[in-house]
Amino acid sequence: MVMSPRIIYFSVFIGILAVEVCIALFMRDAFIRPYFGDFLATILVYVAIRGFTSFSVRNSLIISLIISYSVETLQAVNVLYFIGFNSNEAVSVIMGSSFDWGDMLAYTVAGLSILLFENKISHSKI
């Protein structure tokens, strides 16, 4: 029995979501939580898009990067303060609370990793 690609992406989404929750709850370091977590967050958004829609690799990747970059940019203007969620710990963990160019780099590396992985997968099917 062959699983559909959407089910595979959805399954990966569930796995990465579990890892992200563990990182948020238990990691207090200077690399995994701030950078690897952001790297995984972009991949999480990508596999969610691929799991729930029929968007192409290209469009899914563009949307996931736009979302990642937008969230980080909103941190630069402290949007949580303006909408009254700055004291909500759960929202602060999900959205982040401060702008960091390192996070932008993590999103970009995630996007490149997705592109390389998807290209490898599509070429291995030939």
Long-range contacts of 57-63 (CB under 8 A, 24+ apart): 57/114, 57/115, 57/118, 57/122, 61/111, 61/114, 61/115, 61/118
Joined together, the tokens standing for residue 100 give 């960091």
What local confidence, expressed as pLDDT, does residue 89 receive? 83
What local confidence, expressed as pLDDT, does residue 59 receive? 98
Parse the chain into domains and list their residue ranges: 5-120
Say if residue 70 is exposed, middle or buried (CB neighbours under 10 Å; 0-12, 13-18, 19+): exposed
Tell me the pLDDT of the chain averaged across its residues.
92
> How many Cβ atoms from other residues are within 10 Å of residue 61's Cβ?
22
What local confidence, expressed as pLDDT, does residue 126 receive? 45
pTM, rounded to two decimals:
0.90
Look at residue 30 and give its three-state secondary structure.
Answer: coil
DSSP 101-114: HHHHHHHHHHHHHH
